[in-house]
Chains A and B, each alone.
Chain A
Amino acid sequence: MSAPATSRFAQFKLVLLGESAVGKSSIVHRFVKNTFDELRESTIGAAFLTQTITIPETDTTIKFEIWDTAGQERYKSLAPMYYRNANAALCVYDITSRVSFNRAQDWIKELRKQAPEGIVIALVGNKSDLSDNREVELSEVEEYVEQYNSEATGGGSTIIIAECSAKTGDGVLEVFNRIGRALPVEEAINAAGGRARQAGGRRAGGVDLNRPRAQAQQGGSCC
């Protein structure tokens, strides 16, 4: 039984970290509104949003659950509540603010210590449209990441680095595409299938309205 197009589906939790003024939620709003899917209005509020992307080569649809966090320093103690069980973290800084870059580095340190193993981390500089006021050079970020990776013992995936502009939309979708490609899609699909069988045919994590039956069947029949 060959699977129909886009029959592979995986869902991931992505947490947004970064200082208040870096525009991390603007990046997400841009991502959610700008892509091919129609805007999915969340039911409660815009701090939690979802968006799907398709990765054509592997015929996979990835649904991101995007969790915004409060960037104010005083609320940093709340962050662990948000990044537990996260599959990916988007650490955002403002390329015109060195302070915000330092703060993003702090988040990466904390994630490496406390976040789930294997979390995909992206270090993203926002406001690339303001490069005249740039304080953080991309080469500098590359250097930081290279050094960080060499120091980090015991695995952990490479940090993805990118720049984008929530204002113009430049580079935003690319960030999510790259994260999507770095995520353990196979693992997630297999795990979901296993859970579905265990739960008597229902899929864990709720039922996706877009693809209810096909998914459950696939989960049940593939192994």
Chain B
Amino acid sequence: MTMQPYTPPLDNGSSITSIHNSGNTTSNNNNDNLIDLSDSENTQQEGQPQPSPQAVPQVPTQAPHPEATRHASIHVDVNPSEQYQQSHRPFDFHVFLSHLRKKSADPLVRYIRSFLSSYIRQGYTFSAEQRIKIIIDFKQFMNDKFAMYEPFASMDDIDLENSREGLEKLVMNRLYDQCFPPEVVKTNPQFMPDSYTRDLILDKEFETTLEKFSWINGTHLDIDLDELGTDSTNFLDHAINELNKINQYRAPRDKIICILNACKIIFSFLKSTNKETNADAFVPLLILVIFKAKTSNLISNIHYIENFRGEEWVNRGETSYYLSSIQGAIGFIKNLGVDELTITNEEYDAHMEAWEAERKQREVEIKINQTDKTDSGGDGLLVQPQPQHIPSTPMRSADYSQQGLSPSSVLFSSAEMLGKSISNFLSPSATPPSQDQQQSQAVVPAVSQNMIDEFQNLPDNQEYQPPPPPENEINHQQLSEAYDTLREVFPNLDKNILKDIIYLNRGDVDVCIDACLQLVADE
């Protein structure tokens, strides 16, 4: 079963400002042969609190540390200082967080907070594609903002990459419940995008296939475990453990590192037995590990990595190679037949007959279980029908009761729409909306209003902003006059925030002043 090391504290905006101790830094950039996941735990350091826009503590607290694998009797001849050279240079989440703590980075923290809180409130209404696109857009938005605020603005490429890594981890740790189908089905089952339901079906089908072939061992794949030595079962267990950790981590990077660690153990084992360390030897062992690991929700995990791991890290290089390998191995297992195995037809048929019998037995059991429950639906195997989830915030229940909104009627057409709604918020006074705003309100009237309401309830509520409207819509004279005025009235506000506010409100001084007053009040 999937381990659930984390339960989300879904109280309102209050958690957003909390200060957390969020990781154990690089304290174990040690000789661990495996890629370090240490930055994803938050168990160790009791020391200084780190400011972290609420996401960080969402990582599993009791996740077994990859260090455990050091007890393996397997050694890798990789110089620890070199081990990151290709796909994984050292990533230090704490360094990123400490950069975010700097006063000069305050605007970035606000962007992040604002984005996360709006996503958490609205995300359940997004389609699967929108969930992906909005996050990609936000990463791009933040990438541009990194260039504007210290200490990020003067970073070199390597530190900037660390920052992008940190951002991805921060965001995905927090948005996991909206983006990982096995979690979504628990938190918002009534708002499952179709493709998420499909992922869960694929998970179940794959798990069933693994059950069906649970008798498979090395000889069926021409792996001579005896020849590989007495450590072989030991090594298999370690690789299996690493792969199964994938469900304990929330960030795409951490999940893929579980896969890489499993692969790395396979290679170190091949090396230790003086076998050729090539794909001929690696692929069968990877397949065997997948068979034996029976990882829950493996397909969902792979799709989640594909969807939410930054393109710059996943499309090329070593990570991509091993991701492709596990995808290929999964495909192989899905289509497995007698021809792909070293086995006699008789033995194979006997196994299949046994499986059929077992399957029928299970169906009977399921039917018995289902008759016990009154309202189980047709596809009970996949998603047990859940009682209608009562929305946790009054705001949401108001939505449903008043507007009777179906998910599709409140869908945002794109991330832009999300941005527009936020920009609506930035002009909270009752000024006539611009044409764009009228359009967006026409499409999603209830939600736009709700978003404004919800944002006003936030302690920090003016962060994530869409790219400014096209230049030609803006009268530059007006903008620069508005800027001068605001600088006089609000000398303490960050210049760039002022500029953003002015852009978003098309230089309307009165609206801008309202927005700034809100800002000052918050501070």
Contact = CB atoms under 8 A, between A and B. Distances in A.
Interface of A: 11, 13, 16, 20, 24-25, 40-48, 50, 65, 67-72, 74-75, 77-79, 81-82, 84-85, 199-202, 204-207, 209, 212-213, 216
B279 interface: yes
22 contacts: A16-B279, A20-B280, A25-B276, A41-B79, A42-B86, A42-B318, A43-B264, A43-B318, A47-B267, A68-B278, A69-B279, A75-B332, A77-B332, A79-B328, A81-B324, A82-B328, A199-B312, A202-B143, A202-B161, A204-B311, A206-B316, A213-B157
Interface string B72-103: 00000011001111111100000000000000
A68 B279 contact: yes
A77 B420 CA distance: 47
Contacts of B279: 16, 25, 47, 68-71
A202 to B, nearest CB: 7
Contacts of B328: 75, 77-79, 81-82
Contacts of A79: 328
A184 B198 CA distance: 39
* Chain B interface extent, by class: 35 or more
Given A78-B331, A204-B315, A207-B157, 7 more contacts: A20-B280, A46-B267, A46-B278, A65-B321, A81-B328, A199-B143, A209-B158
B210 interface: no
Nearest to A25: B278
A116 to B, nearest CB: 14
B461 to A, nearest CB: 26
Interface of chain A, main secondary structure: loop
Nearest to A215: B157
Interface of B: 35, 78-79, 82-89, 140, 143-144, 146-147, 156-158, 160-161, 164, 222, 260, 263-264, 266-267, 270, 276-280, 282-284, 311-313, 315-318, 321-322, 324-325, 327-329, 331-332, 335, 339-341
A42 B503 CA distance: 48
B282 A45 contact: yes
Given A81-B325, A207-B157, A213-B156, A43 B282 contact: no
Given A11-B316, A40-B85, A82-B328, A70 B160 contact: no
B337 to A, nearest CB: 10
Given A72-B222, A78-B331, A204-B311, A43 B283 contact: no
